[in-house]
Amino acid sequence: MNQQKKVGNKGEELAQAHLRTLGYQIVKTNWRWNHYEIDIIAIDQDELVIVEVKARTSTNYEHPSEAVSNRKIRFLINAAEAYIQESNSQLDTRFDVISIIFQGPDFELEHIKDAFYPTA
């Protein structure tokens, strides 16, 4: 497994642990539909939360949250719509981004709730 994949997997594990400490119920991880993927699908009280996790070992290039491009947002919205239809969810939906920057054995985690809103 390459280093980038290891960083991504560790980031997703930390994001799930973070969400659980906040009381979120993790419903699915790495859910796929066609060529779309949702890193984490969770429930926070009465909301369905679609979570994109971005992990990096430095910010030399960009902050991890900046890697959530307009194209990625469209993919996440399309995947969320597919999941909502498949699961027949009646919950309001929210899109969060969790950024993790590893600094040696330590890390910095930032959780952005309502990171973006789907457009009509």
**What's the order of all strands across the beta sheet hosting 92-103?**
25-33, 36-44, 47-56, 92-103, 106-112
At 9 the pLDDT is 86
CATH of domain 3-47+70-112: 3.40.1350.10
Per-residue pLDDT of the chain (120 residues; tens, 9 = 90+): 677 778 788 989 999 999 999 999 999 999 998 888 999 999 999 999 999 999 888 665 666 666 788 888 999 999 999 999 999 999 999 999 999 999 888 999 999 999 988 875
Per the listing, tokens 């993919």 go with 75
What is the domain partition of the chain in residue ranges? 3-47+70-112
Does the reported pTM lie above 0.75?
A: yes
What is the pairing mode between strands 47-56 and 25-33? Answer: unpaired
At 63 the pLDDT is 62
